[in-house]
Amino acid sequence: MLATLIRLVGDFELAEEGAQEAFEAALARWPVTGVPANPRAWLVNTGRNRAVDRLRRKVTLRRKLKQVVAEAETVQQPDLSAVEGEDIADDRLRLIFTCCHPALSIEAQVALTLRIICGLPTAAIARSFLTSEETMAQRLVRAKAKIRDAGIPYEVPPREVLGERLAGVLAVVYLVFTEGYAPSAGDRATHPELCAEAIRLGRLVDHLLPGDPEVMGLLALMLLHDARLDGRHDADGELLLLDEQDRSQWDRERIAEGAGLVERALARPALIGPYGVQAAIAALHAQAPSAAETDWPQILGLYEVLRRMQPSPVVELNAIAALSMVDGPERALQLLEALAARGALAGYMPLYAARADLLAKSGRMGEARAAYGEALKLARLEAERALLERRLRLLGPA
Amino acid sequence: MQYLLMIYGAEADRASATPAAIAAMSAEYATFTQNIVKSGHFKGGEQLKPSTSATSVRVRDGKTLMTDGPFAETREQLAGYYVIEAKDLDEAAMIAAKIPGARTGTIEVRPIILMQQEDLQRFGRAS
């Protein structure tokens, strides 16, 4: 049967795949309909049809990819509300994995994803990442050349590497989000348009790979942060801390959606990863009526879980901030000094800002003032600097 | 597609390895090579003598210049290579990851531009 198929189809691989599908179809159908009069002819016929379908899909895919990759400028924005055929969805998933392939630099992965999956114009991507349009265009050209020349496949990775490759895709999506939520440079406190694109990407991946707890976790995390984006700064655009924010400005609908996703992700606790845990923390913050009425012990517990999953000094620093709300600033300060002494966060502005906040809460105003001064020296963003100066002023005159 | 898999490793480590460790490594390479011959991916490959045996050749203004050693001093040196046939980068990278030297050194994976058959024939006639 296979030999016949190879002859009919003219391609070994296609024929093999067609044959396999024909057998699968037979297994599904024959117990119901009964064995056909000429089973072999049925199998060959079905196998050929499936192989031709596959070939057609491959050809359309290749044509589509050629158009998408070579002439990215002509690509339309994907319309998620449209009902789409399964193969189109598959194509899109393949394309996401291609754009986020680990053989490309992370900058190239981000640029390609925004350009090709989100359909953002090159100029807009360049503006968001504070580079010239020319530099960004060049980065895209190089990335596309690498895909072609290195033979980066247009495929959903096989099961044995799907997990790590999906983690790479999620890392790109989250990087886009964090660059929007807390830009690494520039005068703007936030780039909401990047947050919106990241959420759109998160929804797309969740739609294409439904039920994955880490995908749901990331989408929830982004929604829960984004819901509070407008509350993060005052009318003059100055950054506000969590306990200073007007919670009535938070987007309740987004929070409900994010919290719902967290619950669904938590339904399979064995598969929860760092995004799911961070989303759970964000949900507790977002649903609390005030900073004081937040479930800090549970947040502290979740940070402990996160620290075990993903040991990092930044996670420890966040855990210490949560601990200060449970055990008080003195105990938190001790742990913070121990963390600082390990040196891993030397030069990391939030460490100095957290120390200053804890010192101020402990009534050690002189030391707090000095710590804010150190944090100010390390602040790179105008918005950060303004926030630290305001905190410093709130301490009163020296 | 064909790929060149270049195996980079610290020669200092190889020089200080015990005979038993060298024998174990050779056996691993033999098994790996057999496997990719059997799977049809193997196109060629050899181990190289240490970079101390290398000579760099340049022609400038019609004069041939020979210098001792490789072009650049690096922490890892080219120790050997494979040429493989693979359907795409993912397959090539999967094979590269199975090279014993990948665990201690680095495998550089480079696609090869294959000359067309007619080009080769033309060159053959010309020579």
Mind listing the pLDDT tens digit for each residue in A137-181? 999 999 999 998 999 998 889 888 888 899 999 999 999 999 899
Dump pLDDT digits (tens) for B82-124.
Answer: 999 999 999 999 999 999 999 999 999 999 998 776 666 766 6
A150 and B89 within 8 Å at the Cβ level: the answer is yes
B88 and A153 within 8 Å at the Cβ level: the answer is yes
| Res A69: pLDDT | 55
In CATH, what number does B2-126 get? 3.30.70.1060
- Most A CBs within 10 Å: which of B41, B89, B94, B107, as the mutation test of the A interface? B89
Distance CA A151, CA A142 (A): 14
Quick one: which H or E segment has residue A161? helix A159-181
pLDDT range class, residue A338, cuts 50, 70, 90: very high
- The answer on pLDDT for A261 being more than 80 is yes
State chain A's mean pLDDT as an integer.
86
DSSP letters of A70-104? ITGGGPPPP-TTS---HHHHHHHHHHHHHHT-TTS
| Residues sharing a CB contact under 8 Å with residue B50, sequence separation 6 or more, in sequence order | B11, B14, B15, B77
Is A150 near chain B, with CB under 8 Å?
yes
A window 98-127, beta carbon within 8 A of B: 101, 103
Q: Shortest Cα distance from A103 to chain B (angstroms)?
A: 9
Distance CA A300, CA A323 (A): 6
Q: Which residue of A has its CA nearest to B109?
A: A150
Dump pLDDT digits (tens) for A1-51.
Answer: 655 665 566 554 566 678 778 878 888 888 878 888 888 778 878 888 887
Contacts of A153 in chain B (CB under 8 A): 87-90
Domain boundaries, chain A: 2-70, 307-398
Contacts of A160 in chain B (CB under 8 A): none
Q: Which residue of B has its CA nearest to A153?
A: B88
| Res A389: pLDDT | 93
Q: Against a cut of 0.80, is the pTM above it? A: no
Furthest C-alpha separation in chain B = 51
* Alpha-helix runs per DSSP H in chain B: 11-15, 19-38, 89-98, 117-126
What are the structure tokens assigned to B38, written together?
A: 């059997």
Helix, strand, coil abundance in chain B, percent, nearest 5:
40, 30, 25
B89 and A152 within 8 Å at the Cβ level: the answer is yes
B90 and A155 within 8 Å at the Cβ level: the answer is yes
Q: Are A157 and A165 in contact (CB under 8 A)?
A: yes
Contacts of B3 in chain A (CB under 8 A): 151
Distance CA A225, CA A227 (A): 5
Fold of A307-398: 1.25.40
For tokens 């925004």, what's the residue? A114
- The answer on pLDDT for A84 being more than 50 is no
Contacts of B111 in chain A (CB under 8 A): 149-151
Nearest to A29 by CA among A41, A39, A44, A19: A39
Q: A213 to each of A158, A173, A176, A274, how far by Cα in Å? A: 19, 15, 20, 10
Backbone CA torsion sign across A159, A161, A165, A167: positive
Report the pLDDT averaged over residues B30-43: 97
ipTM above 0.85, yes or no: no
